[in-house]
Structure formats: C-alpha cells, structure tokens
Chain A
Amino acid sequence: MSALKLKKGDTAKSAYNLRPTFSDVIERHTLAVMVENEPGVLARVIGLFAGRGYNIESLTVAEVDHQGHLSRITIVTTGTPQVIEQIKAQLGRIVTVHEVHDLTVEGPSVERELAMFKVVGAGEKRVEALRLANIFRANVVDSTLETFVFEITGAPAKIDAFADLMRPLGLIDVARTGVAALSRGD
C-alpha cells in the first residue's frame, strides 16, 4: 500500500481537485477506492452512484489486504469534470472509505480486464477463431467438438476488439470481470 499515502480532504495534493474548471465535456475516469472490507461496503458505494445518478461503466472489487481488512474497488465512471470531482468527494465521505484515487489524473496507469468468450462453430470458422485467438494471445480453457472457451486478458479496448472479431465466428457467450487498474511506477 506504499503508493497510497494521500489523506481524504487533502487539498494540496490529492484526488480532490477543489479548483475545477466547470466544463460540459464528458470524461471517463478510473477510480481506485480503498475500503474497509466489511458487510455492506459495496452496497454503500453502489447506492451512492444510484442515489445521486452517477454512471458506473465497470466495477470490480476484491480484498487486497487481508490483514488490514482492505478491499480495492475499481470503478470506471463518466461525467463532466464537476461531476467527477463530486463523485470522488462523495466517495470520500463514506465512513468506511479509506482512500480515493483518480488514476486518470494522478499520472500514468495500467488497466487490465479478464474476459471469457464461448464460440461455437465448425470447419473454417472454427479454425479461424483459433487462429485469431492466437494472435490476441487468448488461451483455450475449454473445448468440445463444437465449442471453444477462450480466456483473454488485456485493456478493455483489446477485449472489445476481440469480441468484434469473434461475433461473426459464432460467439454465443461472454463473461467480463470489469477493469482492474494500478498506477505506474512508485
């Protein structure tokens, strides 16, 4: 947790930009929210988004610090700069939220998502699906005579691209984990 040293409400250098420019441009931000891993904490976060009408494009959550009882929630959201600032400030108000990081503004970060695709087909299409999977470095995690289940990891755009290619080749089911993200460097 060494990278996460910022305190809530710290005006000088934190995720809270208290001097925003009010603009109408819709931005997409990836937030990393460190929360106490206690019952209901996810409901608090989701309830905040639902209750105040904010968007959730993607949300992932898992405990990342077993001893410290901390979970990391990664949320991809969209809104005007003012709304994004409000979202961060509102998240910061939740008593069990320890830290809020806006990975989109705090410097370079990497985003990854895992997805599984089930593709059904025979003959040429089946061969083509396997060939494309190779190019995208997707693994075959299950196969029958008619189906493959591919597993692919990457930035969301790469997964979207893979999905577009698989669709005409017999894509029948998709499961995606949502985005996990970390800032780069230390």
Chain B
Amino acid sequence: MTRQMTGAKMVVQALIDQGVDTVFGYPGGAVLPIYDEIFQQNHIKHILVRHEQGAVHAAEGYARSTGKPGVCLVTSGPGATNAVTGLTDALLDSIPIIVLTGQVPTFMIGSDAFQEADTVGITRPCTKHNWLVKDTDALAGVLHEAFHVATSGRPGPVLVDIPKDVQFAQGSYDAPKPSTSHYQPKVKGDMQEITELVAAIENAKRPLFYTGGGVINSGPGASQLLRELVGATGFPITSTLMGLGAYPASGDKWLGMLGMHGLYEANMAMHGCDLMINIGARFDDRITGLISEFSPKSTKAHIDIDPSSINKVIRIDIPIVGDVGHVLEDLLKVWKSRGRKTNSEAVGKWWGQIKEWQAVDCLKFKQQGKIIKPQYALSRLEALTKDHDRYITTEVGQHQMWAAQYLNFEDPNRWMTSGGLGTMGYGFPASIGAQMGHPESLVINVAGEASWLMNMQELGTAMQYNLPVKQFILNNERLGMVRQWQELLHGERYSSSWSESLPDFVKLAEAFGAKGIQCSDPDDLDDAIMEMINYDGPVVFDCLVEKHENCFPMIPSGKAHNEMLLGDAETQGVIDAKGSVMV
C-alpha cells in the first residue's frame, strides 16, 4: 500500500519495515529531520556514539554477532568522512552495513556549501554500492534496495546519501517487497563442478579443508553443514582469522588457524596437502605467504559466492561459484549418493603426519617470574570465560593474533576482528555493537593499549547505555606488532613504536564512571579477571604484560609456509630484501 509521508519519516518507516531495532549514529544539521522522526517513535533504538567511526564499527559488531545487517545514521560532510574507515573495514571483511548520511539540500549541491562533501564520490570505492537520492519518491525504493544489496551475494557496506530537502519533502512510500532488481547473485553451485569436487574428495590422500569468513556469512546452517562434512569425511580442517568458530575449536579434526601467525600444523598441512578445499576464504596474502611456494602439490577447489575471488591470486582447479550453505548441501548429497567414499587408509597416514606436527606444540610458552606473559593472560581469560555465553572482539596488533591463537571458538558469530583492513580502534566500538545485539552475554574486547586509545571515547557510549563491555587491554606499552617488525627487519631500531605518555587506565575508566582494574602480577590475574567478569558494567582492565614478547609462530613476509619461525628461534635477518618490501 502506498502512503504519503516525508522523506525523513520514510527513513524511519523503511528501517522498521526492514526489521531494524538498533541504529548507531550521530546527529548534525543535515540529518535533523530524520532525528526528529526518531525522537517521535519507539520502535527503533538509537545509540548515540561518540565518533562516527565508532558508529560504523559498532554496526559491524552488531552485524557480525547477530547475522543481521547493521545500520548507521550520520550527518553530511565530517559525519560522512568519519565513516569512511568503517566502510572500508566492512568492505574488506564483507560485513552487511547500511550507512545513511545526510547531505546538503539538492539545490546547494556543488556549491561548496557548509558541511558539503561529495559523499558518494568519496565512498564509491569503499562501499559495495551507494546512492544519492535526489527525489523523495525514489527514497523508499532505494532504502529497500540498499538492504537487499548489503545482505545478498557477498555481503558488504552500502551508503544512502539523503539531501535535507529530500528529507523534508513529501513523497510516496511503499513497504518492502521481494527485490525485483537486476542484482540477484547466484547461490547454487554448478552440479558438474560439485561432482568433480566429490570425486576429488573420494580419491584424496592428503586432503584439507581451508575455511573462511564466507562460511560465517552464509549463516549458521552453513557451519552446521561444514561440521557434518568434516565429521563424515574425517578430513582435517583449518580456518582463516575470519572463519574462526565455523568449526568448533574443540572438534577433533581442528588444526587451528593458519596464516602468518597461524599454527605450525595448519600451515604445514596447507603446504603438504594434495587436495585443498577452500570454503569461503580468499587466499589473502596473510594466508598464502610466498605465492610461488604456496601449497605446491595440491589440487585446489574453491567455493565462493564472488566469482572475482576465484583465480584472483591462486590458480584454481575446481571453481565453484555459489553460496557456501547451498553448495555444501549439494556436495553432501552427491557424496552420500555415491557411497560416502574416502581413501581412509591414506587419510589415516596423513593424520599420522599431522599428529607429528601437532606434537611440536607451537603455542607452548612458559609463564615464569613476576611479569605476566600475554599468552598467559589470554590462556587464563579463556579458562575463566569459556563456559560463559561469550562474544569476543579485538583491536589490531600482537594481542589480536594471540587472541586468535589462545581463545577457542565453538560457534560462529562469536569472534569479531578486523581482518582485511586491520583497523586499530575497531574492537571497542565493535564490542558495543555486539553487546547491543546480545544484552545478556559476556562481551570482551581483547585490546592493545595503543589501539584502544584510538576509539576510547566510546567509553561514554558504554556508560550511557549501560553496556557492560569488558575492555581487556594487554598493555605492553608498545605498538607491539610494529616493534616486532622493527626488531625482525629494521635492525632493532624502534622508531616511534613506544606508547609514550599513556594514561592511567584505571583513573580514565573512573573518569567516565566505569570500573578500572589494573593487574601486573600473574598470581593476582585470576582474581582480577573474575572481578572483571562479575562486575555489572563496563570495565577497563589494564593488564600489564611483558613488553618485548614476540608473536610466534610467524611466517616472515616473502617466505613459504614450511619456512615458518617458531618461538625463541633465531630471528635476525630472516626476512630478505624481497620480503621486506611486503607489509
């Protein structure tokens, strides 16, 4: 049914009709009509962040933890430009986000009006798609289409730029209908290719599943099918940073994360496998290392909803374009109908080899003395929180990699980290978004002191909305990951990688009315973590850790998987000239 209303009201109506319950935003002149409509209704909760970057990361945290799209509302000009980092982050991690921006009135566009920016121009390369709506009658259609585009195919961020006069004007509004737009990505895989993969599975001697964020994005059903497939074939499985939780860390086929800071057994298995089954991962350079030496002997199958991911960097033998859930369903059907065959004898031998690699125990560490090792802090955090209904976000740096290594994820949507863009400042606002989606759950942001300071203003947001997010800061007083690279390839010249003039985190927390806890003694750590968990409100936990700890294992840039460094190894000069130009 078509109804007449203002553009501003349409925005709120479209959000309600799309099932949105939470919007993260920040007001300004160009969005005041929309804020006025938000004020006059009770369906949608608006969370006032403290910086627009925080709004987008919060929406990402909400989206990744709930499986629903995240929504932001910001003003024109600086509001829009502050959202750019979040949009780029969501683009690289394929997170469905809808960002609504105000714009100067249509008749002032192009005049360098106050707070005018070419928002669609600036965000064209960092959104999946964007629209400038110049006609109120077109607004409802664009808003509904924005949800369709953000959530279908390979998900991603979209932006709708709405001039202020379009918000004021009357137009006709229609409720959402199934999209009739041309954009309808294909979800079913080609049966011929799927059958070819089944044949490869039946014959493989050293198979390996390599899974990524695509499994999580495909929904909980895809993770379920993955578990069934892994269980039934008995093949080992590893995952990218983005895919953690799709297969449970406690599962007996689990090899742990792979990649630059992945586990020894996972990387060695990647290097040595004869059948690699990539499910929803994209051969990122953090995964492949040296391309020419990447898994040299394997037949490579790749299931991805985005055709451009296939053959982008690695040559694929069995390409399957489709949604992970749909393809796995068909794959299982065909494999079962052909008699559930695998080469179990050869796969048994392969497991024998893998067990040897696992015996290296690449994550072992020694907690000695009075200084907390970051690995120890995370092991204790894992032990004390694993039975909770728990969501983890992280910032970016060493702590992020240690979190991926030492925390275990049993389910999808429990782990939110900036994988593709590596955005320091992501974790705190993301934890706020995750907590909004899961008010009763334990939400922890594993942070580095430097990253955390990048969006620490969101402590105000956490306080205002009583969001009991726990900020677990591994404080090494260093830009630790930068320091580690300087140690390894810049002759230990630690250029600007100190965190100078750090605040007193306890006092900082208290200044906002939150709880601050500091811990520096390993013997006090458990009690302090329990105090954090049991406190009903936001906590800033300043965990003083070993300042010069390096994150291992590590595949140095420009090296192959089987050249990875384990802890305590001789690390000087391991990255050659070719490797050192890579990031």
Give the residue name and chain of the B residue nearest to A99 (CB): B182
Which of A8, A18, A94 is within 8 Å of B311, CB to CB? A18
- State which of B5-13, B312-320, B348-356, B431-439 sits at the interface with chain A: B312-320
Which of A11, A19, A22 is within 8 Å of B321, CB to CB? A11
Q: What CA separation (Å) do A86 and B192 show in the bound complex?
A: 23
Q: Is B128 an interface residue when CB atoms closer than 8 A count as contact?
A: yes
Query: Which of A11, A19, A43, A47 has the most C-beta atoms of chain B within 10 angstroms of its own C-beta?
Result: A11
Given A18-B321, A40-B124, A43-B121, residue A82 in contact with residue B186 (CB < 8 A): no
Which of B129, B312, B319 is within 8 Å of A96, CB to CB? B129
Is the CB–CB distance between B311 and A95 below 8 Å? no
Chain B, interface residues (CB within 8 Å), range: 20 to 34
Is the CB–CB distance between B182 and A98 below 8 Å? yes
CB distance from A159 to the nearest CB of B (A): 33
CB distance from A97 to the nearest CB of B (A): 9
Q: What CA separation (Å) do A7 and B184 show in the bound complex?
A: 10
- State which of B302-310, B401-409, B517-525 sits at the interface with chain A: B302-310
Which of B129, B190, B316, B317 is within 8 Å of A12, CB to CB? B190
* Contact residues in B for A8 (Cβ distance below 8 Å): 185-186, 307
Is the CB–CB distance between B321 and A92 below 8 Å? no
Q: Is B32 an interface residue when CB atoms closer than 8 A count as contact?
A: no
A residues 1-21 with Cβ under 8 Å of B? 7-12, 16, 18-20
Q: What CA separation (Å) do A123 and B460 show in the bound complex?
A: 84
Which of A7, A93, A98 is within 8 Å of B186, CB to CB? A7
Q: What CA separation (Å) do A134 and B321 show in the bound complex?
A: 53
* Contact residues in A for B312 (Cβ distance below 8 Å): 86, 89
* Contact residues in A for B310 (Cβ distance below 8 Å): 18, 89
Q: What CA separation (Å) do A16 and B316 show in the bound complex?
A: 14
Query: Which of A36, A82, A89, A92 has the most C-beta atoms of chain B within 10 angstroms of its own C-beta?
Result: A89
Which of A9, A39, A43 is within 8 Å of B307, CB to CB? A9
Is the CB–CB distance between A18 and B316 below 8 Å? yes
Q: What CA separation (Å) do A90 and B128 show in the bound complex?
A: 12
Q: Is A108 an interface residue when CB atoms closer than 8 A count as contact?
A: no
B residues 178-213 with Cβ under 8 Å of A? 182-183, 185-186, 190, 192-193
Q: What CA separation (Å) do A95 and B310 show in the bound complex?
A: 18
Q: Is B444 an interface residue when CB atoms closer than 8 A count as contact?
A: no
Q: Is B73 an interface residue when CB atoms closer than 8 A count as contact?
A: no
Is the CB–CB distance between A43 and B124 below 8 Å? yes
Q: What CA separation (Å) do A44 and B131 show in the bound complex?
A: 12
Give the residue name and chain of the A residue nearest to B302 (CB): A18
Give the residue name and chain of the A residue nearest to B319 (CB): A18
B residues 278-315 with Cβ under 8 Å of A? 306-308, 310-312, 315
Q: What CA separation (Å) do A51 and B96 show in the bound complex?
A: 22
Is the CB–CB distance between A40 and B183 below 8 Å? no
Interface string of B431-467 (1 = CB under 8 A from A): 0000000000000000000000000000000000000
Q: Is A63 an interface residue when CB atoms closer than 8 A count as contact?
A: no
CB distance from A110 to the nearest CB of B (A): 27
Q: What CA separation (Å) do A20 and B311 show in the bound complex?
A: 8
Q: What CA separation (Å) do A16 and B153 show in the bound complex?
A: 17
Q: Is B83 an interface residue when CB atoms closer than 8 A count as contact?
A: no
Give the residue name and chain of the B residue nearest to A36 (CB): B182
Q: Is B132 an interface residue when CB atoms closer than 8 A count as contact?
A: yes
Q: What CA separation (Å) do A98 and B183 show in the bound complex?
A: 8
Is the CB–CB distance between B321 and A9 below 8 Å? yes
Is the CB–CB distance between B149 and A95 below 8 Å? yes
Give the residue name and chain of the A residue nearest to B129 (CB): A95
Q: What CA separation (Å) do A85 and B307 show in the bound complex?
A: 10
Q: What CA separation (Å) do A6 and B306 show in the bound complex?
A: 17
Q: Is B44 an interface residue when CB atoms closer than 8 A count as contact?
A: no
Is the CB–CB distance between A51 and B319 below 8 Å? no
Is the CB–CB distance between B307 and A92 below 8 Å? yes
Q: Is B363 an interface residue when CB atoms closer than 8 A count as contact?
A: no
Is the CB–CB distance between A11 and B190 below 8 Å? yes
Give the residue name and chain of the B residue nearest to A95 (CB): B129
Q: Is B251 an interface residue when CB atoms closer than 8 A count as contact?
A: no
Q: B residues bordering A, Cβ < 8 Å?
A: 120-121, 124-125, 128-129, 132, 149, 154, 182-183, 185-186, 190, 192-193, 306-308, 310-312, 315-317, 319, 321
9 A-B pairs within 8 Å (CB atoms) are namely A9-B307, A12-B190, A16-B307, A19-B317, A44-B124, A89-B306, A89-B308, A95-B128, A98-B182
14 more CB-based (< 8 A) A-B contacts, given A18-B321, A40-B120, A85-B311: A8-B186, A8-B307, A9-B185, A10-B186, A12-B190, A12-B192, A18-B310, A19-B316, A19-B319, A20-B311, A22-B315, A39-B132, A92-B307, A95-B183
